[in-house]
Structure 1
Amino acid sequence: MLDVPKNNENKKSDKSHADGKILQSVADGVGVITFNNPDKRNAMSLDMWEGLGHALVELRDDPEVRVVILVGAGDKAFVSGADISQFEKTRHNAAASEEYSKRSAAQRALLANYPKPIIACIHGFCLGGGMQVAMAADIRIAAEHSQFGIPAAKLGIAYGYDGLRNLVSLVGPSWARLLMYTGMRIDSAEAVRIGLIDRMVPDTELWGATMEIARTISGNAPLAIQAAKITIAQVLKDPGERDMDAIKQAGIACMDSEDFREGRRAFMEKRKPEFRGR
């Protein structure tokens, strides 16, 4: 079972959304969002998508939060996909599926364009919609016994453009075809080999490894990280769609910042810098 500490003296009060199926907390500059539907292996319902959106907005607007971790509750799954029990009501035909997509579109766009780094801390099943969530994160760290897959072909549904764009970007078109055409599952070793995840760690070390990276990010200069995030996002776009002015402005903000001056002083004084994000 993933060892996520429940109590921390530096932890702000927990919040919950979607009737407790989305949990939100903050500790040491790190925001944590937990998919808390373990009886259904954290399958995502529309209410959970909406709750995820609320949590993301609150953590985005919290100046103490510099990085966000996404994690699944229990010991079975990160997110095992969409809640198929809702399909008869919400996705039973093309019109209903389109309405379902519209209702979750704002949350998916928020996740895709989030201004702060997001780390997906993955253990157990990461399937279908769970893959969509994980692939939208900046960094994916997984326990060695995790499983990944997109079973759309086994359900008779089309996987969305955004999800497939991210999949092709991470693993390339050949592996994207193999995964999509077969609906196969792969383990963490294969996932890290093909570039789907960034790091594989022993199950018992997952939370510690994730928090170590999150705290490192939190201690670095926020404007420099934001500049890197903006620039990488633009690099991934087609040349004609790139916003080079956004890249330039992010660079200017860094060079004119207090943090840049603090970084230089700390280097010369051989001490750890204290960045303020301004």
Structure 2
Amino acid sequence: MENEPLNLRIDAGVATLTIDTPARRNALTYAMWLEVAALFQVLEADPTVRVVVLRGAGGDFSAGADISEFDTLRGAPDSARTYEAANSAAFAAVRLARIPVIAAIRGICFGGGFGLAAAADLRIATLDATFSVPAARLGLAYPLDAMVDIVGSLGEQMAKYLTFTAARLDAASAKSAGFLLEVIETEHFDARVDEIARTIAANAPLSIKASKASMRATATGDKRDIAFAQQIGDATFASADYAEGRTAFKERRQPVFSGR
């Protein structure tokens, strides 16, 4: 999907979803929030996709929601709730994806962009990345589910600091808080993101899905999440990939997993 506000490319099991409105620092319109959720449904249904890389075009990840729409699409309580529902659907699509999601962050990562990154499984940034949760300067509240992601990824105290002050956080501080897995020099950034994504894509998909489901069940304690994690974990025992993993180990070669 080229020349679209959201570009999707799939290569060797790695899906790259790019927010592509660099003139607006990759701000997302209402339609784009809805499209994020729709595209993740497409990716979930594609058995060839094993990992998603979420990134922004140009020098920034995302400035968040496109504020130019707020007067018309978020100016009254009812429309604000409708807009928030679109936000939440996008965050949920990232958070609940059964395949791993990597947020590859350059430049600014603000507001709703921060929310998307917080919902991802892994976050990697360049040295110049900057983070902010500026709702307090707009008089808005973040969706509850987004705040759960923010607290979970930042820790409670840092989440309070960012949301109460609307301050900006540099990449080194974000890594110290646990929000970032790695901070990479710009010239090595794309190669490192690609290395991690392709390593994940080469591993057993069912095993990774089971691990992600189990970690979610551990975090939520929800009986449905626990049951699903048990189900998908049990499915690995009879899988072709488990047989392939054992055979490859005995033959001292790299396994080739089919996802079955």
Q: Please report how far the alpha carbon of residue 57 of structure 1 lies from its aligned counterpart in structure 2 after TM superposition.
A: 2.2
Contact 1:131–1:148, Cα closer than 8 Å, also in 2: yes
Alignment partner for residue 254 of structure 1, among 209, 219, 236?
236
Aligned match of 2:89:
106
Aligned match of 2:257:
275
Q: 1:134-213, aligned counterparts within 5 Å?
A: 134-213=117-196
Aligned match of 1:90:
73
| CA deviation map 1:36-90 (0-9, x unaligned) | 0001000011111122233222222222211111110011x10111100001111
* Structure 1 SS opposite 2:169: strand
Q: Please report how far the alpha carbon of residue 240 of structure 1 lies from its aligned counterpart in structure 2 after TM superposition.
A: 5.4
Letter in 2 for 1:154: R
Q: How many residues align?
A: 260
Contact 2:84–2:143, Cα closer than 8 Å, also in 1: no
* Structure 1 SS opposite 2:15: strand
* Residue 28 of structure 2 is aligned to residue 44 of structure 1: yes
Alignment partner for residue 54 of structure 1, among 38, 43, 48?
38
Letter in 2 for 1:243: D
Aligned match of 1:115:
98
Alignment partner for residue 215 of structure 1, among 198, 211, 217?
198
Contact 2:137–2:166, Cα closer than 8 Å, also in 1: yes
Distance 2:123 2:198 in 1: 15
Q: Which 4+ residue blocks in structure 1 deviate beyond 3 angstroms?
A: 103-108, 239-243
Distance 2:118 2:246 in 1: 35
Distance 1:68 1:256 in 2: 26
* Structure 2 SS opposite 1:25: strand
- Taking a change above 3 Å as real, the CA distance of residues 215 and 240 of structure 1, as seen in their structure-2 partners, is closer
Q: Please report how far the alpha carbon of residue 162 of structure 1 lies from its aligned counterpart in structure 2 after TM superposition.
A: 1.2
Letter in 1 for 2:187: T
Higher helix fraction (1 or 2): 2
Distance 1:187 1:99 in 2: 32
Distance 2:41 2:222 in 1: 30
Contact 1:235–1:242, Cα closer than 8 Å, also in 2: no
| CA deviation map 1:165-210 (0-9, x unaligned) | 1111122211111111100001110000001111110011111111
* Structure 2 SS opposite 1:271: coil
Percent of residue pairs identical: 37
**TM-score normalised by length of structure 1:** 0.90
Distance 1:260 1:39 in 2: 47
* Structure 1 SS opposite 2:155: helix
Contact 1:151–1:183, Cα closer than 8 Å, also in 2: yes
- Taking a change above 3 Å as real, the CA distance of residues 56 and 109 of structure 1, as seen in their structure-2 partners, is same
